[in-house]
Amino acid sequence: MTMPFEKSQRGFTLLEFMVASAVGLIVIMAMTQLFRMGMNATFTVTQRAETQQNMRAAIELMTKDISLAGSGLPSGGLQLAVAGGNSKVACNQGGTCYVPADTYPTGNYMYGILPGFGNGVQGAAVITAAPAAVNDSITSIYCDYNFSLSNFKFTFPTTTSATVAVVNAAVTPNNILAPGGLNVGDLLLFLVSTSGNGKTAQGTSAAQTAAAVAEITGLPNNLTINFAGGDALNFNQAATAANSLANAIFNLGSGLGAGNQVTACRLNAVTYFLQVPPAGGTIQTPRLMRQVNGLNAVPVADNIINMQFSYDVINSVAGTMSANQSNPVGAGLSPALIQKVNMWVMGQSLTSAGNKNQSMYLASSVAARNLSFCNSYSSATAVCQ
């Protein structure tokens, strides 16, 4: 029998196999590189978005506080008592002061905005990731109308305490210790108006008004507020000191006699600064902090490595605008005449990964609408209030 003959099939040669493998590897490597580039781009966009969102939240919070600066304060600000030295800014009840040069400027004067040129990092710590530029702080001071004290009547049995009575129990809040109410370390602004205790040039009666700021040192119950001396912020100075609480209340004619009124509001003295947490903690990156009155500072945003401010200020002598003043107090300009605050915040990505680290600036401006008004058109010299 004749057996069928099968024709052999020719396979790949070694050279063909090697060429095909090389082409396949090139395609795989190209796809891997494209995938890596896509992942890096996604990572970069995510980092930038997170950083920008972080800075934007910080800017918006600062904008809110700065836009309220001066609200409820006497026009032009308030001279504080000086018998016991200058009052302090940004210190808590434990004695920690968060910013260098932590006292009120120009003879212990309370303005709506306190520029903090070059003192923006707690303990003057160095932020190595920041550019070679100064870091500033800023303090905004205004009446807190979220917890109105208009429903409370204040009387002062001693020079260091006040008793509180509710005017209308049906009105909320009717308790000074209510949620969001007063705390030890809060600042209260008292405006004391008297009728008939002063005399005009014609000899007729004239109303008088005095203002003073006091720090709460004790709240034993919802009917008593203590203002003891030696307070953390050095506001509660001796009764003989001009512009002290006791002076404002008891040295206006007959004191709290008939026809006299005491108006009070809680002040928010809000300071923004940067903090570098100590080594060994769970958080190592610089962060933006917010501190109110004599309370503890709280973090606002992480990885904020640089913060700078400049101010557009009316020059009351020349009657012109001095723009972009980084240190208006040092330039001899009054913070009471600040018209606009310009701010720059530099943030760094929350996750550092070599050259993938992202840093960027975010800038904004805020009009200080509650500060003093300066009419530069009234005469050759500006008229400022």
Q: 371 with 338: CB under 8 angstroms?
A: yes
Residue 145 lies in a domain: yes
Q: How many domains does the chain have?
A: 1
Note the pLDDT of residue 198: 41
d(CA 278, CA 111): 33
Q: What is the mean pLDDT of residues 357-376?
A: 77
**pLDDT tens track for 149-170:** 988 888 888 778 888 888 888 8
Residue 236 lies in a domain: yes
Residue 35 lies in a domain: no
Helix or strand run (H / E) with residue 308 = strand 304-315
Q: What is the DSSP letter of 373?
A: -
Q: What is the mean pLDDT of residues 184-211?
A: 63
Residue 12 lies in a domain: no
Nearest Cα to 271, choosing from 93, 107, 97, 129?
A: 97
Nearest Cα to 234, choosing from 385, 364, 80?
A: 80
Residue 244 lies in a domain: yes
| 3-class SS of residue 138 | strand
**pLDDT tens track for 9-57:** 666 777 877 888 888 888 888 888 887 777 776 666 677 777 778 888 8
Residue 138 lies in a domain: yes
**pLDDT above 90 for 233:** yes
- 């209030």: which residue's tokens? 385
Note the pLDDT of residue 57: 87
Residue 127 lies in a domain: yes
**pLDDT tens track for 87-122:** 999 999 999 999 988 899 988 999 999 999 999 999
Residue 346 lies in a domain: yes
- % of the chain with per-residue pLDDT over 90: 34
Q: 270 with 302: CB under 8 angstroms?
A: no
Note the pLDDT of residue 356: 63
Q: Domain span at residue 160?
A: 50-384
Q: 289 with 97: CB under 8 angstroms?
A: no
Note the pLDDT of residue 88: 94
Phi, psi of 137 (to 5 degrees): -115, 170
